[in-house]
Amino acid sequence: MNASNDAMIKLEGLTKVFYTDEVETHALAGIHLEILRGEYVAISGPSGCGKSTLLSILGLLDSPSSGTYVLNNTPVQGLDLSQRARIRNREIGFIFQSFNLIGDLNVYENVELPLTYRGMKASERKDRVNAALERVGMAHRSKHLPSQLSGGQQQRVAVARALVGAPSILLADEPTGNLDSKNGDAVMDLMRELHRAGSTICMVTHDPRFARHADRTIHIFDGRVVEESTEAAAAPALA
């Protein structure tokens, strides 16, 4: 890949070591990775291979033990907690397996919350929230609580919350993990629509059926990138 100037994410020599009871666990062991603007990348591998650790670092929820990470032309190592929180709020949209909606807030309020943290004017928040809910087909449920929605509907709301701040990149951690196959397929279709509209997406998944929705799949094993495949190359093997 020679389009480094167009990289949304650039990792060089990234490692992560956890220390417990005098035992070192090398979760990531020298990751080199670029994700380009507008690209849809899947990160796949077996449980415990380091893919969720990698996503946590990409989302500034954790820090690497060594190596460099540049997000949207900004080196993130050395940033203090408030700077990291600001970048998370403005640059990154998160979609979690467990939805992570707040139970006593309705759909509208859940989607609005990241904008409230920015101190955005109410009129602009309203326009953005309504547009995001329309985009995922959930505007008609804006006054419902999460407990009144199906799992698939909750994940659509979570996608709207991730989108509402116009982030540079969407990070999705097993976004279909708690859904049945029908709702899982619907969420993956929505992700593909977002990508076609220009969103940059990085998705962790263990399911090869969903990985092939991406332009490129990064295969991780024992904390290392062991293979990369493109959708065109992977599709025949997964058909």
> In this predicted structure, what is the pLDDT of residue 218?
94
Q: Summarize pLDDT for 155-190 with one digit per residue, the tens.
A: 999 999 999 998 989 999 999 988 898 998 999 999
> In this predicted structure, what is the pLDDT of residue 233?
45
Res. 209 pLDDT band, cuts 50 70 90:
confident
Q: Summarize pLDDT for 63-87 with one digit per residue, the tens.
A: 999 999 999 899 998 899 999 999 9
122: number of Cβ within 10 Å: 10
Per the domain annotation, does 75 fall within a domain? Answer: no
Per the domain annotation, does 3 fall within a domain? Answer: no
Per the domain annotation, does 140 fall within a domain? Answer: yes
Tokens 């799992």 belong to which residue? Answer: 151
Per the domain annotation, does 14 fall within a domain? Answer: no
Per the domain annotation, does 124 fall within a domain? Answer: yes
Per the domain annotation, does 4 fall within a domain? Answer: no
What percent of the chain shows pLDDT beyond 70? Answer: 94
Token digits of residue 65: 């033990």
> In this predicted structure, what is the pLDDT of residue 238?
36
pLDDT over threshold 90, residue 202: yes
User: Which residue type is seen at 55?
Assistant: L
Q: Is 6 left (phi over 0), alpha (psi -120 to 50) or beta?
A: alpha
Distance CA 138, CA 209 (A): 26
Q: What is the CATH number of the domain that holds 55?
A: 3.40.50.300
Please answer whether residues 76 and 156 qualify as being in contact, where contact means their C-beta atoms are separated by less than 8 angstroms.
no
The count of structural domains within the chain is 1
Distance CA 7, CA 17 (A): 26
Domain of 196, in residue numbers? 38-60+80-238
Per the domain annotation, does 130 fall within a domain? Answer: yes
